[in-house]
Structure 1
Amino acid sequence: MAGGNAIRGSRIGAGPMGENERGETAPRQWVSFFCANGHETRPAFAMEAAVPDNWDCQRCGFPAGRESTAPPAAPRNEPYKTHLAYVKERRSDADGDAILEEALARLRARRGE
């Protein structure tokens, strides 16, 4: 089809992008961060940017620090607790028995027993 649209299949801004179109990139520095699993992450920061003390590891997601000999500790992973587990933390067995007896007494009174 000779009379078709010449820009069909292109997108705005398509084509080679170089420094002459975008401008010069900021000078960068690569900083090493080490996690508890021994992984090294090297993100790039602008030279004038403040470098944080901690960074998330790209491989495992653990926190990573700047020192390879003393990386931050891995976060503790608490197991899932049910509602009953939380109730048992707040109340003793004696408290639970007393509440149960009180509820049963109200139920029996309502039934007329």
Structure 2
Amino acid sequence: MPSGNVIRGARIGSAPDRPPERHRPAPRREVTYWCRNDHRTSILLAEEAPEPPLWDCPRCGLPAGRDEQNPPGHTRAEPYKSHLAYVKERRTPEEGAALLAEALDALRRRRGDE
């Protein structure tokens, strides 16, 4: 027995696959990229859009370039950095000591230690 809250005749994605015939798609051009593993990737870009210098290969994930004879090499993965490592990049040790002292003073005041 069907439930009473079913919407009949409609489903997600039931729109037509192509635009109505009264609309013309924007002018596009095909741009081709090659990766180090000889994978060819073609993408469609708008006529006026600049082409990116690199594109990730959808098959292997390596960077792909426009030159078929000389594709880009492997990119070096950045090592994982903790939150503390990023903070240390932004602050000098003196700034860090001042912030720590300020935070400890605020904590002591809340606890009533002073």
Q: Place the TM-score, normalised by the shorter chain, in its bin.
A: 0.5 to 0.7
TM-score (norm 1): 0.54
Q: Which amino acid aligns with 2:67?
A: E
Taking the aligned partners of 1:78 and 1:15, their CA distance within structure 2 comes to 43
Pairwise mapping of residues 49-68 of structure 1 onto structure 2 (< 5 A)?
49-68=49-68
Give 1:16 deviation, angstroms: 3.0
Q: Which amino acid aligns with 1:59?
A: R
Residues 75 and 25 from structure 1, CA distance in 2 versus in 1: closer, same or farther, beyond 3 angstroms? Answer: same
Q: Considering only aligned residues, what root-mean-square deviation do their CA atoms show, in Å?
A: 3.2
Structure with greater Cα Rg = 1
Which digits, 9 at most, give the CA deviation of each residue in 1:42-91, with x for residues without a partner? 011011111111110010010000000110002246899xxxxxxxxxxx
Match in the other structure for 2:8? 8
Residues 38 and 18 from structure 1, CA distance in 2 versus in 1: closer, same or farther, beyond 3 angstroms? Answer: closer
TM-score (norm 2): 0.54
Q: Which amino acid aligns with 2:54?
A: N
Q: Are residue 46 (structure 1) and residue 49 (structure 2) matched? A: no
Taking the aligned partners of 1:77 and 1:14, their CA distance within structure 2 comes to 42
Unmatched segments (≥5 aa) in structure 1: 81-113
